Amino acid sequence: MLTYLFLQPVGASGDIPGAALLCHHDGHVSPFGCRICIMEGIRIKAPGPNAGFSRYYHGDLNGAIERDPETFKHGDVIHNLKTPSLFARLKAFYGSYYFGLDELHLFGSNIAKQIWNMVTGDREETAFTLPKVVLRPIGVAASETNLPPCFEGNIPDIFRHSNNARAVDWLDFLLYLLPTIVYEQIDSNGTPQEAKDALLCIVTIASLALQQWLDADDIDRIKRCATTWHEYASQSLTNRYTPVFHYLQHVSRAIEMLGPMRRYSTRSIERTIGFYKKRIKSISATAVNAANQLCTITAHHHCQHSGDLDVDDGEDGKFESYTITTENDNDTNDMVNVQEGTADSHRLWRVLQDDSLTVGQFDSWDLDRYLRQYWKRHLNQRTALPSLRDSKIVVGKDLFDSDTGTFYGSQAYPHLARKKPMPFVKLSLPVDLNRADPGAAKDLVWETYFAECMLFLAHAYRGQERMLALVQVYRDLELNGAGIPIGTQNYNCDRGHCKSYVIDVERIDSLAGYIPSTIPTRPGGSKRYYYVYPGMIPNDIRLGDVTHI
């Protein structure tokens, strides 16, 4: 049976040169180098003693006019739209934002690289340039990062082989290294505050633009950050203000028109390109080889999904996957879900098959004490609870969140696999601002904490069943100048530097990772670590104190 589908293209995008080809624009080096608005670039000398001249865009959007959709239909040679675009014939065409702004190429391939060139003093020094003596510690710290698999990039490649680093590697540098170990060195180097604020605005724009959900306040914040960066860079970085920095002023409008940038990113296509690139071996008949590979792999996938063939794509070509295997006969990969009062997305994984497990069997963790404290809080009970040592529990070695596809590991049952689930997590916990006054009404706020997951369990008390986690919450954290948490605790930290606490598993926001600081607390003092997490935004969290919980 044949099925006919009607498809309506609602956008066409790519990197900056690729998008220029789609809309028949002369490109970012032309006099009117922005494909979205009509703004003429200023031709001045490029950085470097022997450099030529290039075009830079110092004007703000208040004096710019968005390109008329009709100019894409008929061309506008004066403003560098050389011929009509085929996409402008479509009924769904709505103007310059039809060609989007791709987050992977805008932030990763371009802006992050250019910021790093400023930091290293490539061609010409800027306010961000650091002495070469501190660039090496930054590279060493980057090689010692401990990040979970949910971070897509490979940060050390930037310092070892920057020319081979991928766009996702540069994105991780921009989002996680720049506001931590790079920022601390820029701060200690005496960089002016306005320069540091402008640099953080770049990170904030990228962080917000890459969120899956944004509201009006987020978009307004992007606009303010773009204005702050523009006001600084147009005056202080005149021969660094390339078209990619100009496009930052269009990010907020692009999100308003098209939605979050991750929704129409080309990064999935980049993975596909890499997948097929390894299989195209022909030099003389590349197109034919590519077509044959496309047909072959499509046929294999069809057989695989129909159950007729077990296809092994080979180590070089298969996509990254994450599999947990059973380690012994006392556990299983069966999932346990506690329906009552717990989000359906969370499930215990690798559950211990022992019906006789009790709280008392985990006295080494003092589980009875912390479990009683949890139920006392949960039930709003003022009097102490009786011992729970003899009550039954279900224990999972890991926790799985099906909404995000994330596995969380536990310290009680560590993994030996290379891609192990990490137990280090970011938490959001409710804190009563009036906790010191028992007679006052509760005034709850959400505070951010970082902890290691020790044990995942399900427990029932007084007719209520909850899925819980025993965690060790880190003490004495603080925020750096960029609003990123930093402390002295590292993986598998000493209990004296943590507070044991039982929480509902839905209080776990995400996995987190460690980036070692390049500056100790004092000469010869303890080493410090930044705690980073997916979706991190500078100056965006209310950091909690363990005395509040």
Query: What digits encode the pLDDT tens for the residues 23-37?
Result: 999 998 899 999 999
Helix (H) or strand (E) holding 394: strand 393-401
Q: What is the dihedral of CA 148, 152, 154, 155, to 10 degrees?
A: -80
Predicted pLDDT of residue 300: 67
CA terminus-to-terminus distance, the chain: 62
Q: DSSP 3-state helix, strand, coil percentages of the chain (rounded to 5)?
A: 40, 20, 45
227-261 pLDDT, tens digit per residue, is 999 999 989 998 888 899 999 999 999 999 999 99
Predicted pLDDT of residue 336: 56
What angle in degrees, to the nearest 10, is found between the helix axes of 251-258 and 193-209?
20
Predicted pLDDT of residue 355: 86
| Alpha-carbon separation of residue 102 from 4, 20, 110, 262 (angstroms) | 31, 12, 11, 8
Above 50 in pLDDT, residue 190? yes
Predicted pLDDT of residue 174: 96
259-302 pLDDT, tens digit per residue, is 999 988 888 776 677 777 777 877 778 888 888 888 877 776 66
One-letter amino acid at 408 equals Y
Above 70 in pLDDT, residue 76? yes
Above 60 in pLDDT, residue 307? no
Hey, CA dihedral for 243, 163, 195, 253, is it positive or negative?
Answer: positive
* Average pLDDT estimate for 487-511: 89
Predicted pLDDT of residue 25: 96
116-151 pLDDT, tens digit per residue, is 999 998 888 899 999 989 888 898 898 888 888 788
Question: pLDDT averaged over the chain?
Answer: 86
Above 70 in pLDDT, residue 313? no
pTM for the structure as a whole: 0.85
194-228 pLDDT, tens digit per residue, is 999 999 999 999 999 999 999 999 999 999 999 99
Predicted pLDDT of residue 332: 44
Which spans in 307-356 are helix H? Answer: none
Per-residue three-class SS string for 175-213: HHHHHHHHHHHHHHCCCCHHHHHHHHHHHHHHHHHCCCC
64-73, 106-115, 135-144, 183-192: segment of lowest average pLDDT: 135-144
427-432 LR contacts (CB < 8 Å, sep 24+): 427/451, 427/471, 427/473, 427/503, 427/507, 427/508, 427/509, 428/507, 428/509, 429/503, 429/507, 429/544, 429/549, 431/544, 431/548, 431/549
CA 21 to the chain's CA centroid: 30
Predicted pLDDT of residue 275: 72
